[in-house]
Amino acid sequence: MIQTLEDMVRRTSIHASTNQTPAILEKGWNPKLPQDSLRKDLVEIHPTAASFKGMLDKTRKHAIRCMEDSFAYAKEKWDKSHATLDFKVGDLVLVSNTNFNNIKGCKNLKYYLEGPFVIKAFHGENAVEVELSEELSNKHPKFPVSLINPCKSGDAERFPLRNKVPHVIPPIESSGIKRVTKVLKE
């Protein structure tokens, strides 16, 4: 019965991140609680009902305190490890290819970052739109910031062919008469 009370209290307590109860978010309404059916105009309340209401109130206070503690702990942990990245439009970035399923060749032999790509636009604080190469043109160009890494000068040295493709000029054949210099086998 205690687990049912705790579950009921959690579902009808206001959530700190949404400012609504989980029951309203899931169903659109709060369930009727046993304390709502107690008549306030009665002079005497049955002792069992009064003890149940007291137990429900204690459980509600405990659940609210536990949720506040967990939200404070999660916020402290997030703030400690979260670093805002300073990207600007036009910066070169590398995109993590962990979710790419259209990369040709053995995925294990490829480097885990693709790029460099140029940032075209920001969509809020957590999304970046980049200009993709032809190989990844069928991929959506918006990525979360967690998959974006800044492109350092060492990356251009590590991947020299990604920035500049050497143009090979085919040798020009002479249109003169060719002659046989040596016969190997008759």
User: Do residues 77 and 97 share a domain?
Assistant: no
Residue 171: inside a domain, yes or no? no
Residue 184: inside a domain, yes or no? no
Contact 19, 73 (CB under 8 A): no
User: Do residues 74 and 100 share a domain?
Assistant: no
160: confidence class by pLDDT, cuts 50, 70, 90: low
User: Do residues 97 and 155 share a domain?
Assistant: yes
- In total, how many domains does the chain have? 2
Residue 106: inside a domain, yes or no? yes
Per residue in 141-153, pLDDT tens? 898 888 888 887 6
Residue 177: inside a domain, yes or no? no
pTM of the predicted model over 0.75: no
Residue 178: inside a domain, yes or no? no
Cis, bond preceding 31 (omega within 30 deg of 0): no
User: Do residues 104 and 155 share a domain?
Assistant: yes
With H, G, I as helix, E, B as strand and everything else as coil, classify residue 120: strand
Contact 156, 163 (CB under 8 A): yes
Residue 179: inside a domain, yes or no? no
Largest CA distance in the chain: 125
Per residue in 43-97, pLDDT tens? 677 788 778 878 888 888 888 888 889 889 999 998 888 777 788 888 888 888 8
User: Do residues 19 and 71 share a domain?
Assistant: yes
User: Do residues 7 and 77 share a domain?
Assistant: yes
Domain region containing 39: 2-81
Question: Which of 81, 104, 128 represents a domain boundary (last residue)?
Answer: 81
User: Do residues 53 and 98 share a domain?
Assistant: no
